[in-house]
Amino acid sequence: MFKLIAAIGKNRELGKNNNLIWHLPNDLTFFKGQTMNHPIIMGYKTYESLPKKLKGRQYILLTSKNIEEEDILVFHSKEEMLEKLDLSRDYFVIGGASIYQQFIDLCDELYLTEIDKEDSNADAFFPEFDKSMYERTVLDSNSDDGINYDHVLYRRLK
Ligand SMILES: NC(=O)c1ccc[n+]([C@@H]2O[C@H](COP(=O)([O-])OP(=O)(O)OC[C@H]3O[C@@H](n4cnc5c(N)ncnc54)[C@H](OP(=O)(O)O)[C@@H]3O)[C@@H](O)[C@H]2O)c1
């Protein structure tokens, strides 16, 4: 099963200048808890933007570049990736914008951190999606440095 995890602002803001917009330490703990021990699928820009290697998670990287790094599974197209992965396993799609756009329709569960903030300088956005196709559950509500956000699970209706 494909699952997706993202932190988004009120206008679906995801990032700017190839970085996250808001620093939310407790949300990073949530991200770690959800993704730990699962393979994580990401695009090259997100891979580049990560400040450190995320331990305990197999990296699956989509890029046109020829990257040879131990521990990283590299695919040059979505089709190649879907052909080679064991689809009986669970995978987490972790971004960025172009990867969410390509994979959201394959994902049965969306873990969204819905942040009660906006940023008019954002340059990467989560795709619009039809919320009526999902059951929405608020998992918890949080605040980091005065920024309020909810962890919300959207489970695709059968
Ligand atoms: N808020 C969040 O939860 C969250 C999560 C993740 C990322 N982000 C933010 O999102 C932004 C990055 O998003 P982005 O859309 O610019 O970049 P991205 O999706 O991370 O990476 C784009 C790159 O991935 C590769 N790629 C994408 N689709 C591919 C395909 N089908 N086949 C082969 N390669 C493929 C290409 O790399 P090559 O150019 O190497 O071919 C492409 O340039 C940053 O601001 C980041 O901080 C936010």
Residue nearest atom 12 of ligand 1, based on CA coordinates: 96
The domain of 20 spans 2-156
Q: Is residue 117 within 8 Å of residue 20, measured between CB atoms? A: no
From 12, 44, 93, 118, give the residue whose CB has the most ligand 1 atoms within 8 Å, as the site to mutate: 44
Count how many domains the chain has: 1
Provide the pLDDT for residue 4.
98
Provide the pLDDT for residue 65.
97
Provide the pLDDT for residue 70.
87
Ligand 1 mean position to 45 CA, how many Å? 4
Provide the pLDDT for residue 64.
98
Question: What CATH number has the domain bearing residue 76?
Answer: 3.40.430.10
* pLDDT per residue of the chain (158 residues) written in tens, 0 to 9: 999 999 999 999 999 999 999 999 999 999 999 999 999 999 999 999 999 999 999 999 999 999 989 899 999 999 999 999 999 999 999 999 999 999 999 999 999 999 999 999 999 999 999 999 999 999 999 999 999 999 999 999 98
Residue nearest atom 36 of ligand 1, based on CA coordinates: 63
Provide the pLDDT for residue 138.
98
Q: What is the dihedral of CA 33, 46, 79, 89, to 10 degrees?
A: -10
Ligand 1 mean position to 134 CA, how many Å? 25
- Side chain identity at 70, as an amino acid letter? E
- What lies within 8 Å, CB to CB, of 151 at 6+ separation is 27, 30, 111, 112, 113, 114, 138, 139, 140, 141, 142
Provide the pLDDT for residue 22.
97
Residue nearest atom 27 of ligand 1, based on CA coordinates: 43
Provide the pLDDT for residue 103.
98
